[in-house]
């Protein structure tokens, strides 16, 4: 592979319905590693990573053109907010007041309601060239947007911090007490987004002893987290994603596979949360984060109705998601890690994706 130097490339990607220009900002690392970002939804549009033969390929699902992102809301690579995952009954109590939210998943709220952060055009604040190419995007969420109290000033930073390493940092401040839980919703396939190979043979390790069992609406059940030991949810050691996905287990039936929050082993700062390996391509992804939870989703609801890059129809098990976040329904669960943000405090979510070759 020809050597490459860190840098940034900016190009027009499309236009909003009102004519506003939408860029695509490519952060180039070394030796074929690069990340493409679009401000609409603060989306990770592409992520090129070399395989064991030195061939660099895009490993995230998405669309080739901008109009497809506008036409369908599928969260491909998007920044999720104000609250990733679900809030039961689309409401919670905060300082004695009942906060009613935008219900968009039956009676519940999912990923910020009908018009979450993934449907907003973020502002390009800063672009940094070498040695660590980066882009800073921000968005101001008005008081009451989606039902959430407080004006929230949010920003996301994508930064190539090593030869094959991408750091994604979310920050937010508020002028009133509120709840916030941001994440990135990329769909990964370490064989390549155009490979037409499923991810069931990918081997995964998740640094968690417990998982949240859910009801039929994917809301966490009452009670403490469930131990993963002696269940199909035990990924403390490497296992193929598909090895136990068809086990007759109530939680796998409800989710049509894996779609659960893993309660990460507590620790300080950014720490290893998961490792995924593709035996076919040799690509290895290590995800480290400072968040208390990790939603593992095995692409169960990709049903062939969505057309993506290269005209491919995305089907079940074509990709997996690892979404670092606070636990779902935390605003209604005082026994869960808090998602509260008060004025004068900084919400800061750090996640690092480090790639290597096995």
Query: 337, 31 in Cβ contact below 8 A?
Result: no
Mean pLDDT of 89-104: 98
For residue 130, the model assigns a pLDDT of 83
pLDDT at 2 over 70: no
Whole-number average pLDDT of the chain:
97
Task: Summarize pLDDT for 102-150 with one digit per residue, the tens.
Answer: 999 999 999 999 999 999 999 999 999 989 999 999 999 999 999 999 9
Burial of 163 (0-12, 13-18, 19+ CB in 10 A): middle
For residue 335, the model assigns a pLDDT of 98
Per the residue annotation, which of 57, 145, 277, 323 is the catalytic one?
A: 323
Task: Summarize pLDDT for 62-84 with one digit per residue, the tens.
Answer: 999 999 999 999 999 999 999 99
pLDDT at 1 over 50: no
Asked if CATH classification 3.30.70.270 holds for the domain at 7-197+295-357, the reply, yes or no, is no
Q: Could you give the CA distance from residue 122 to residue 302 in angstroms, rounded to a whole number?
A: 27
Task: Summarize pLDDT for 31-43 with one digit per residue, the tens.
Answer: 899 999 999 999 9
Q: Could you give the CA distance from residue 239 to residue 151 in angstroms, rounded to a whole number?
A: 43
185 is an active site residue: yes
Least confident residue range of 23-27, 30-34, 152-156, 229-233: 30-34
Mean pLDDT of 299-325: 96
CA angle 102, 106, 108 (to 5 degrees): 50
Mean pLDDT of 339-355: 98
pLDDT at 179 over 60: yes
Per the residue annotation, which of 185, 202, 260, 349 is the catalytic one?
A: 185
pLDDT at 3 over 60: no
Query: 91, 336 in Cβ contact below 8 A?
Result: no
For the chain, the structural domain boundaries read 7-197+295-357
Q: Could you give the CA distance from residue 102 to residue 92 in angstroms, rounded to a whole number?
A: 12
323 is an active site residue: yes
């Amino acid at each position: 592979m020809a050597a490459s130097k860190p840098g940034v490339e900016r190009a027009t990607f499309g236009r909003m319905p009102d004519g506003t220009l939408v860029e695509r900002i490519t952060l180039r690392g070394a030796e074929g590693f690069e990340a493409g970002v679009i401000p609409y939804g603060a989306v990770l549009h592409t992520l090129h990573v070399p395989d064991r033969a030195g061939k660099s390929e895009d490993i995230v699902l998405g669309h080739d053109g901008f109009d497809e992102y506008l036409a369908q809301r599928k969260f491909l690579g998007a920044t999720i907010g104000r609250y990733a995952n679900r809030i039961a009954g689309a409401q919670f109590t905060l300082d004695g007041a009942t906060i009613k939210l935008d219900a968009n998943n039956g009676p519940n709220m999912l990923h910020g309601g009908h018009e979450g952060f993934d449907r907003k055009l973020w502002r390009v604040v800063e672009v940094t060239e070498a040695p660590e190419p980066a882009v800073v995007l921000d968005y101001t969420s008005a008081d009451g947007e989606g039902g959430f109290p407080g004006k929230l000033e949010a920003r996301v930073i994508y930064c190539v911090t090593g030869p094959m390493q991408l750091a994604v940092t979310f920050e937010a401040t508020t002028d009133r007490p509120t709840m916030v839980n941001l994440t990135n919703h990329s769909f990964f396939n370490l064989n390549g987004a155009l490979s037409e190979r499923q991810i069931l043979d990918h081997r995964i390790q998740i640094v968690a002893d417990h998982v949240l069992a859910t009801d039929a609406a994917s809301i966490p059940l009452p009670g403490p987290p469930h131990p993963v030991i002696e269940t199909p949810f035990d990924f403390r050691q490497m296992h193929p994603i598909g090895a136990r996905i068809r086990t007759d287990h109530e939680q796998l039936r409800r989710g049509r596979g894996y779609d659960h929050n893993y309660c990460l082993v507590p620790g300080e700062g950014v720490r290893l949360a998961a490792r995924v390996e593709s035996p076919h391509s040799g690509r290895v992804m290590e995800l480290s984060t400072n968040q208390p939870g990790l939603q593992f989703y095995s692409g169960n609801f990709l049903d062939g109705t969505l057309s993506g890059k290269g005209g491919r129809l995305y089907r079940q098990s074509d990709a997996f998601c690892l979404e670092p976040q606070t636990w779902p329904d935390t605003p209604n669960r005082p026994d869960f890690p808090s998602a509260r943000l008060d004025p004068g405090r900084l919400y800061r979510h750090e996640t690092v994706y480090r790639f290597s070759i096995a």
